[in-house]
Structure 1
Amino acid sequence: MGPPDAGLPDSGPAVELLRRRSDAIIGREITRLAGRARRLGPHDLAVVEDALNELVERLVLARLRAVPHRAAEVERLFDVVSAPAPGERPAAGARRSGAAERACGRAPGP
C-alpha cells in the first residue's frame, strides 16, 4: 500500500501534526493494552495498531486533506498548532510505530 497522502491535496502542517499526535496516542494505548491483555502477542497487537492507524486515516486525516481551507479550524480543534507533545515522534514513511513490538519486549521490525 502506498503512502496515505498519495494524490491528495496538502493541508499544510495540520495533517502531519495530527498524524504525529495520533501516532503517539496509539503507541501509548498499544503499550497499555499489552499490559492489560498479556495473552496478545506482537502480531495481535500489530493488527490492532494497524486498525487504529487506518481508523485515524479514514476518519480524520483523509477528510482533513479534502478540506485544506479548514486546516486552521482543525488545528485549533485538535490543539496541534503548538509544538508536538512530549513523547511524540516524527512521522516516518511507515504507518506502524512499532509500539506493538516494543510493548512485547521485541525490537520493531522494518
Structure 2
Amino acid sequence: MTTRTRRSRGPDRIVEDDKVEVLPPGRGLALDWPRVIPTVLLGTATGFVASLVVGGGGLLRHAVVGVLGMLVGQGLTRLTGWRLRTGYPILDEAAMAVLGAILVVLLARFIA
C-alpha cells in the first residue's frame, strides 16, 4: 500500500498521511466517572419522582427524563433566580430537577 501525501497550508510543505492526527496525541474522550454516575443516579431518582406525579414508566425513560429535567431545572434557576430552599443543597437540586423533569414530560406530551 502506498502512502498518500497531502499538501499543507504552508508554502510547499508535504505531510504524509501517517503523520496527520485528528485528535491531540494520547487524548481520547475525557469522561469524569465520579461526576457522571451520581448525576445519572440522581437523574433516575428525580425522573421516577416526576413519573409518580405525571405518569410514565421504564428505567431508561426515568433516567433520560431525570437528566433532562436536571438541565431544565438548573436553567430555570439561572434564568429566573427561583429556587426551592429545603436547607440541604442536594435536596434543593433534586427538587429543581423534579420540577424540570415534570416540565420535560408535560412538554413531550404536548408535542406528541
Q: Give the TM-score taking structure 1 as reference length.
A: 0.28
Write 1 or 2 for the structure with the bigger share of strand. 2
Larger radius of gyration: 2
Between 1 and 2, higher relative CO (CA 8 Å, sep ≥ 6) is seen in 1
| TM, length-normalised to structure 2 | 0.28
